[in-house]
Amino acid sequence: MSEVRTRIAPSPTGDPHVGTAYIALFNMCFARQQGGKFILRIEDTDQARSTPESEQEILDSLRWLHLDWDEGPDKGGDFGPYRQSERGEIYKEHANKLVDSGDAFYCFCTQERLDNLRKEQQENKEQPGYDGHCQALTPEQVKDNLDRNVPNVIRMHIPRRGSCVVNDMLRGEIEIDWHQVDMQILMKSDGMPTYHLANVVDDHLMGITHVIRGEEWINSAPKHLKLYEYFGWEPPVLIHMPLLRNTDKSKLSKRKNPTSIGYYKKMGYLSEAVVNFLGLMGWSMPSGPDEEGEELFSVQDMIDNFDIQRVSLGGPVFDTEKLDWLNGRYLREVLSDEEFIQRFGEWAFNPETTHQIVPLIKQRVERFSDVAPLAGFYFSGMPDIKTTDFEHKSLSQEDSVKILQFIAWAVEILPEWHRDRLEKLLMDMADQMDIKIRDFLSPVFIAIAGSSVSTSVIDSIAVIGKDITRARLRHAIGILGGVSKKGAKKLESEYRELDLK
């Protein structure tokens, strides 16, 4: 059999996610253990949501974790380009091939018609899906529409009867009825392919032999297998990993958990510990005859002992308590004093943040000994705060929660993380909530700096960054008793009333 090739295919539409790193780790271990190659491909076919910044951050994060790839947009390879937005012609060509062979068809249905159709189907409790309307079009009608530049998409044909057997290396045979599968859009009206087409075409063209991905893809596997069949290609081996979970067992989400890799870096975790912890999710070192498998292991150890069959299928809860313990072991058992000094220095005193912090504290100190108390919160985890710290002459506890929650939401969609942008946002918000900025910022000081005596809170937010800001706001809201489900609804509608720019 030819060389094993696996890939990680992140979509640059947000913060680098630990789930991406998780899947990357298993792809990398499998490839390395098999003596194969591990490829990075950027799936940026969603033009509305993909950003170059996000791509950069994802690459940086994966690099930080040493999940190194052999081919990718940054280092090239024989199967490029490795960014889907640069492969437009390839997809077009392949989609056309399917149209010509009769395995796909043009669809001219409007968004409105599809929305109504879906609504109707849901009301009638039918399986939502395309009704095949445009399949009935004659070649002449299609040509006519095309000539008149009617907006269109290309959809794949799906058998109406029978079922598809998906063979998963870990789960065995999974049978899914074809009538559960929609006539998937392959090419969007903007000329870009959907995930399903791009993924299949690229995996084939890039020689991917094993697709290791999240469990959420099981249900669309029939579409993918059908595409391989239409093209006359041999499908890769499919392996669906369990999904990382929140404490309540739902799919890991940033609303309930810090999911950004950047958060763990900024909180002062070692990349080795983070990767090690990820390796403990659904996998374990084999035990010897008289000893249990060691839980502290390097990526190389993991590769040396890797066996994909050892993956357990129950969705692991991403509970960082064990990560804390593991990180502590790395710090005190694995790192020498010299290494500790170096690694700590790199973390705390990198020129970028130091240059931002010094001007803020310089004007407020009289001795160097004043620096640590004043700047400590920049480097700390969550501030040690109590409900009473938020007591304020004109703000109730509910007001404080509201302010913090609104900021948390607003900050989420901020296009750029810059002090002036933040300032404008907070000023705007205070103004619209009809609260004096001075009062408005009071709970923010406590949440971010742990004290009302501190450097400018807006500058502080700018320095500590989105990940830590988000975490501290969440932490403070938690201290204040949190937001109930009902309360959240009310807050959300109030929040939507605000006109924030």
Active site residues: 254
CA distance to 213, 272, 408, 461, per residue, from 467 (Å): 26, 20, 11, 10
Judged by beta carbon, residue 47 or residue 300, the one nearer RNA is 47
Spatial separation of the C-alpha atoms in residues 41 and 203, rounded to whole Å: 10
Q: At what angle do helices 457-479 and 397-412 cross, to 10 degrees?
A: 120
Least gap, CB of 450 to RNA (angstroms): 20
Cα torsion through 168, 170, 173, 174, rounded to 10? -70
Least gap, CB of 221 to RNA (angstroms): 9
Question: 43-81: b or e for each residue (b if 16 or more CB lie within 10 Å)?
Answer: bbbbeeebeeebbebbbebbebbebebebbbeeebebee
Least gap, CB of 165 to RNA (angstroms): 10
Quickly count: other Cβ atoms within 10 Å of residue 5's Cβ: 22
Least gap, CB of 125 to RNA (angstroms): 5
How much is the CA Rg of the chain, to the nearest whole Å?
26
Spatial separation of the C-alpha atoms in residues 257 and 238, rounded to whole Å: 29
CA distance to 230, 435, 449, per residue, from 183 (Å): 14, 52, 53
How deeply is 217 buried, as exposed, middle or buried, from its count of CB atoms within 10 A (0-12, 13-18, 19+)?
Answer: middle
Least gap, CB of 421 to RNA (angstroms): 25
Judged by beta carbon, residue 36 or residue 315, the one nearer RNA is 315
Judged by beta carbon, residue 241 or residue 404, the one nearer RNA is 241
| 73 alpha-carbon distance from chain centroid | 19
Name the residue with tokens 């989400």: 253
Judged by beta carbon, residue 115 or residue 370, the one nearer RNA is 115
Least gap, CB of 114 to RNA (angstroms): 6
Judged by beta carbon, residue 164 or residue 448, the one nearer RNA is 164
**CB under 8 A, 24+ apart: contacts of 412-417:** 412/470, 414/466, 417/462, 417/465, 417/466
Least gap, CB of 198 to RNA (angstroms): 7
Judged by beta carbon, residue 235 or residue 316, the one nearer RNA is 316
Spatial separation of the C-alpha atoms in residues 367 and 231, rounded to whole Å: 72
Judged by beta carbon, residue 78 or residue 290, the one nearer RNA is 290
CA distance to 17, 39, 260, 373, 379, per residue, from 57 (Å): 10, 17, 10, 32, 21
Residue 147 parent element (H or E)? helix 139-147
- The upper half-sphere exposure of residue 333, i.e. CA atoms within 13 Å in the direction of its Cβ, equals 10
Sheet holding 153-156, edge to edge: 104-107, 153-156, 185-187
